[in-house]
């Protein structure tokens, strides 16, 4: 089979196509055999050839690229079992690719996890928001909460798993992923919040404190919801209501008098 893999790769390279898109006639010609002989050696189907190409560390193509399949496979493994269960072997098995191809595409496990967080975390949507920010402070804060909560609750649930690993292993893979993403994350938040500080609409608190006040309470709430929900039942507000309450509370805490914030409905128990 090795000679057939070599012939298939050569034919694909010559034609500038994926192996899966190269006609069997061309592969047979590259191998110096007839098409019927090639089919006989493959057992009547090219599936065996595609699998042999994968085992050799190459993607035969004809389906989504290795990167796309691996990121999706790793994301579901993270959501189902946590970051600790994400080995390259497990991802390769689920994505139907080879471990060498994962090393080639991601340069290791940390690179794969970073790609998963990049796709399923809040950063892409935050960058879109920062590129065209709302003018009003209240609209900015509510958009930030909606963006973050959406990334926290959407399937596959990557962000809760990242926080769980971060809290349990401060030097683990989640910490490395967060450290790599933090400059871009802080840049987005700075572009969204600091203009309001400079305009006198937000209290001039240290920037890390502004960010922690923004996300700390809602992260705690979202992480505890699976435990609180069966105990509190209807007394636990829906995610949308809780998000609005946290946004109101943040604005009360950091918005200066005269900021462009509408009158807000009092929170529960507030006069």
User: What is the residue whose two structure tokens read 């069997």?
Assistant: 24
Number of domains in the chain: 3
Token pair in block for residue 141: 């804060």
233 and 144 housed in the same domain: yes
125 and 250 housed in the same domain: yes
151-167, pLDDT tens digit by residue? 888 888 899 988 888 88
Q: Is residue 106 part of a domain?
A: yes
Q: What CATH number is associated with residue 249?
A: 1.10.357
Q: Is residue 270 part of a domain?
A: no
Q: What is the pTM of this model?
A: 0.69
103 and 126 housed in the same domain: no
Domain of 41, in residue numbers:
2-55
* Mean of pLDDT values over 241-247: 94
According to DSSP, the residues that pair with 202 across neighbouring strands are 255
Fill in the DSSP letter of residue 255: B
245 and 147 housed in the same domain: yes
Q: What CATH number is associated with residue 76?
A: 1.10.10.60
- Name the pLDDT band for 62 (thresholds 50, 70, 90): low
63-103, pLDDT tens digit by residue? 677 888 899 999 999 988 888 878 999 998 888 788 888 88
User: pLDDT over 70 for what percent of the chain?
Assistant: 94
Q: Is residue 264 part of a domain?
A: no
Question: Average per-residue pLDDT in the chain?
Answer: 86
């Amino acid at each position: 089979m090795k000679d057939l893999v070599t012939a298939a790769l050569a034919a694909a390279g010559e034609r500038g196509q994926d192996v899966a898109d190269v006609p069997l006639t061309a592969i047979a010609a590259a191998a110096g055999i007839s098409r019927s002989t090639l089919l006989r050696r493959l057992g009547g189907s090219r599936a065996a050839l595609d699998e042999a190409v994968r085992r050799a560390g190459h993607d035969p193509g004809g389906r989504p690229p290795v990167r796309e399949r691996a990121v999706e496979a790793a994301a579901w493994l993270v959501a189902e079992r946590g970051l600790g269960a994400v080995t390259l072997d497990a991802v390769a098995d689920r994505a139907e690719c080879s471990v060498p191809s994962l090393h080639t595409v991601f340069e290791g496990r940390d690179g794969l996890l970073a790609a998963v967080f990049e796709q399923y975390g809040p950063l892409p949507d935050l960058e879109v928001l920062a590129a065209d920010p709302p003018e009003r402070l209240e609209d900015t804060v509510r958009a930030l909460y909606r963006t973050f909560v959406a990334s926290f609750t959407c399937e596959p649930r990557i962000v809760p798993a990242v926080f769980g690993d971060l809290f349990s292993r401060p030097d683990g893979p989640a910490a490395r992923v967060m450290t790599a993403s933090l400059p871009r994350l802080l840049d987005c938040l700075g572009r969204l919040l600091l203009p309001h500080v400079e305009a006198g609409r937000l209290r001039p608190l240290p920037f890390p404190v502004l960010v922690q006040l923004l996300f700390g309470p809602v992260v705690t709430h979202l992480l505890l919801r699976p435990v609180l929900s069966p105990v509190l039942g209807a007394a636990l507000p829906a995610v949308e209501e809780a998000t609005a309450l946290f946004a109101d509370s943040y604005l009360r805490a950091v918005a200066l008098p005269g900021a462009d914030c509408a009158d807000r409905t009092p929170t529960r128990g507030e006069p």
